[in-house]
Amino acid sequence: MRSKIQIAVACGFNSEKYTELLLSTIDRTSSCENEIEYILGISDKDVDKNYISNIHTKYPCKIIDIIGKHTRSSRGHGEALDKLFKYFDSDYGMFMDCDTAILAKNWDVKMKNHFVNNIAIVGCEYGGKANKYKNFPNAYFCMFKTDILRKINISFMPISRSHRDRIKINDEQANAFCRSKGDSIIMDTGWELPYKIKKNGYEGCCISTIECGSERSIFVKNIAVTEYQLDGELIATHIGRATSRNFMTDPMAIKWRMAVENRLKQCKL
């Protein structure tokens, strides 16, 4: 059934060209089976809003000001996602980090098909990171049922104030996070997702996060980026750290965007 999917991107410092690439890959790969709408949130005073406003897309695009108290940090990211979430009014919503690129045709249908039974969210997991929750989607790249997340009152604000600030978890949290009682983990942006979704009787469907160099890697093996695979199919790649990587001059960013373009050409997209 045809649905509307709203895709929200927090556009922070140094995000302009990354966002442009992301939207171009979505334009080239999404199916005709769903309506797409972009919601771009300007989350930093130094973002070139004029550049963002002039990104050409084939789908409708809202540009909103979500500058808050916290910037260029996990707390800033969480605050931006909370503000963006208020603008969702469709059955399905999505968050994507700006420094992501979509690589598979009809990815939207493939993700939406996993919303069966009590699944409320489909998205990438943290993978092998020992300091985060396990076996549940995170906020970097996820599609969710908007009404469910609104009903259970999700916030994306982190508890941990830095990547050195680990929180010791109790029994209830350990069950939600697939960890052991007493483990110390980083409760980063979106930590409430497994906790509140499971607590309210829903579940999540994980997209595998594959690190560079893994035998399971499909995208590139010589660039330190991650890739997202759904049912063994490569659907997206994430370079990360966009705030510190100049899109045009950073060597890794150059290799990554060339690899993205080569992959899309190979797939005739």
Confidence of residue 163 (pLDDT cuts 50, 70, 90): confident
Q: pLDDT tens digit string along 198-250?
A: 999 999 999 999 988 788 999 988 888 999 999 999 999 999 889 899 999 99
As given in the structure block, the two tokens for residue 121 are: 């969210």
Residue 230, phi-psi category: left (phi > 0), alpha (psi -120 to 50), beta (remainder) = beta
Domain 3-266, architecture per CATH: Alpha-Beta Complex (3.90)
Report the distance separating Cα 85 and Cα 83, nearest Å.
5
Confidence of residue 258 (pLDDT cuts 50, 70, 90): very high
Q: pLDDT tens digit string along 170-207?
A: 999 999 999 999 999 999 999 999 999 999 999 999 99
Domain boundaries, the chain: 3-266
Yes or no: say if 109 and 230 are a contact pair by the CB < 8 Å rule: no
CA 178-144-263 angle, to 5 degrees, is 90
